[in-house]
Amino acid sequence: MKTLTWMWLWTSLLGGWAFCQEGDFDLFEGKIDLLEDESDLDPLLEKKDAPRAIGLNLDLDLDFEISDFNGLEEDVEEEVARKVTVSIVATAIGEEHTAITTVAKTTPKKKKGPKLSDEEIDDILGGAEFYIEQVMDQQVAIPYEQILAHGRLDEERRQQLLKAKEATTKALVEEWQEKTRKEIPNWSEQERERMRNGRVSQSPSQTDISQHKVWKKALESLLTAEEQKGIEESIARAKERRQEALMQLLIAELDEHIGFAPEQRQSLLKLGTPLLHDLDQSYFSPSTRGYTSINVPNIFEKIENSSRLTKLLDDGQRKRWESLDHGRLQRNRGYSRRTMQSDDKLKLRTEVEAELHIGRILADAANKEREQWRTYMETRLELVCRVSQVSDETRKKLTTLAKGSAEALAQSNIDNMHQNVWRQVKDISPADLPNRLKNISIPTYYSRGNGRFSQHPSLWTDALNSILSEEELKDVAAHDAKAAAWRHEALAGMVLTEIEKHVALPLTLGESLRKSLRRTIERYETEFDRTFSSGWYLQSYYCCIPLEMLQLDEGLKAFFDKREIAVLRERCLAHTGQFAEQIRRQNFNRRGVPRFLQR
């Protein structure tokens, strides 16, 4: 089967191009033909100068999307070469420049497979039965777990709820099978064979389980109307607290890149929390797959374009906010990796050419690393100047020192990056290097302490101690202490709301537990960051390690009953206990606690 990689749009309009004014768009008829190779597109792209003949200066950006072509035979060209409707949308990007994005969609006529008997259709459906059962079970598991967490059910009713879950899952599977049974006769033989082998081209769509007739009927007999309402309200309150915890964490993560004042944090929290309402369900619901993770950039995307939030920032903060690279925000791993770019047409003949090419790639990566630390030190500089109200002369001195400090912070990471990449390409021949570059990446190391950018080189700290007065130094230290307290409160909120996915807590008891979790985080955060990858609080696998340490130090009976503790040990603490004693010993040693007092 020939690979469809590129398409060419032929139009019947003047010069083959659309005449578009600012803010207007035209619909016209087009035709799709196949190009055998991506290189065939090069001469066509040169035609983007054609609009100048009619007095327009257009920048043409072709962006094509093709539907699934699985199952097409060798005569695919004949199937695809037919007329489609194309929308050309012109958007002004300057006084005289217009960007055009063209999206062409077509669904080729698929060749049907041979007719099937009922037994053969059953055989095809049977291949995907295990996978579909898993998918449907995960969908039903979310409301099931929520009712267990937020409803006070005795053992008998918990068993009835389990049966309702199983019955609903079975009904969903049967509905999918009935729907798919009608579609299989129109499938190609390749699609049928994939399903026989347990592969499903498209997963079943998400179902609103709360409205499914089997589930609704089961709950009506299991719970009173008042109980159902109470559970729904408890789930809604838990979601609101999770939104607030996520927003508070985001502010803590952004703080090191932008530098907020204490009053700004509170205002951002109040205005930003409602914007996270439509985050993916996995941020709020109990995990049905054993492991979930959070990426801060996904949260930032929900608020970054809010004018209500950016109005709270000064000019420098707003500039850093708008230019912030999402890749610099914390993710659920110790360090992120930037994939190395490699040109398919790249030809390297000698070792000198290969070394020069890798050198250019590393130089670009090093510049990005330096820019990251320049922005960080710029944030620190603005913070110190804002808090201590320094003179213009002092500011100039600190600006020079901040640049030197950024270079010092970046250099260690750059050295590590160079060693890592050269080690990966060692002994690779020049001819094989382009393909090798596609399979390696550049680690982005973070010199972080306590899970955040907190390493200030002696050049910077010594300068502050000599330039600022004692009172000014106290003001800076007080600001940093407030930022650290905000961060600890955010981490405690993340742990608490992760717990609430499995065990609901009354408001007063929840606040008491939050304070205990915050004290535990303050005590052990250094050990958490040494033991786990940076961003442990973003991973459901490790997120509840503070609860494990709280259990070890104080116990959990003040907050949970026996059944709830059993649930937490199964759902939240299954992977953290193995680290508890090690973390505790490291903490004792760091604080200089004598061995005979380590108990």
Q: Collapsing DSSP states into helix, strand and coil, what is residue 29?
A: strand
pLDDT at 229: 94
Please, what is the angle between helix 351-388 and helix 225-258, to 10°?
A: 100
> Does the model's pTM come out above 0.75?
no
- Contact (CB, 8 A) for 97 and 58: yes
Q: Which helix (DSSP H) or strand (DSSP E) does residue 264 occupy?
A: helix 262-272
Residue for token pair 């608490």: 496
pLDDT (tens place) for every residue of the chain, 599 residues total: 333 333 333 333 333 333 333 333 333 233 333 333 333 334 433 443 333 322 222 333 333 333 333 333 333 333 333 322 223 222 223 333 333 333 333 444 555 567 788 888 888 888 888 999 988 998 999 999 999 999 989 999 999 999 999 999 999 999 999 999 888 888 888 888 888 888 887 777 778 898 999 999 999 999 999 999 999 999 999 999 999 999 999 999 999 889 999 999 999 999 999 999 999 888 998 876 667 788 899 999 999 999 999 999 999 999 999 988 887 786 544 444 455 555 556 666 677 777 777 788 888 888 888 888 888 888 888 888 888 888 888 888 889 888 888 888 888 788 888 887 887 777 777 777 776 766 666 665 544 433 344 556 777 888 888 888 899 899 999 999 999 999 999 999 999 999 999 999 888 888 999 999 999 999 999 899 888 877 889 888 889 999 999 988 888 999 998 889 998 988 888 888 888 889 999 999 898 888 777 76
In 197-337, which ranges are continuous DSSP H helix? 213-222, 225-258, 262-272, 296-300, 307-310, 315-323
Q: Which residue is associated with the tokens 């890592």?
A: 420
- Cβ burial of 151 (10 Å; 0-12, 13-18, 19+) is buried
Q: How far apart are CA 392 and CA 404, in angstroms?
A: 19
- In the block, tokens 């990251």 appear at 372
The DSSP result for 340-384, as a single string, is PP--TT----SHHHHHHHHHHHHHHHHHHHHHHHHHHHHHHHHHH
pLDDT recorded at residue 344: 54
| pLDDT score, position 536 | 87
pLDDT at 560: 92
Q: Where are the beta strands (DSSP E) in 83-207?
A: 83-92, 97-103
The pLDDT, as a whole number, for residue 95 is 30
- Helices marked H in 427-469 — which ranges? 433-437, 458-467
User: Is residue 537 within 8 Å of 517, Cβ to Cβ?
Assistant: no
Q: Pick from 517, 505, 514, 499: which is nearest to 568 by CA?
A: 499
Cα atoms in the 13 Å half-sphere on the side-chain side of 47: 13
| 160 DSSP assignment | H
List the Cα angle 67/68/70 in 5-degree steps. Answer: 150
Instruction: Give the C-alpha distances (Å, rounded to integers) separating 278 from 159, 206, 240, 248.
Output: 32, 15, 11, 17
Quick check: helix, strand or coil at residue 328? Answer: helix
What does the pLDDT read at residue 341?
53
DSSP state of 205: P
Q: Find tokens 């000064």 and name the residue.
A: 314
pLDDT at 292: 77
User: Which three-class secondary structure state does DSSP give residue 115?
Assistant: coil
Distance of CA 180 to the CA centre of its chain: 33
Query: How many CB atoms sit inside 10 A of residue 539's CB?
Result: 18
pLDDT at residue 266, as a whole number: 96
The Cα 554–Cα 485 span in angstroms is: 22
Angle of helix 470-499 versus helix 545-553 axis, rounded to 10: 90
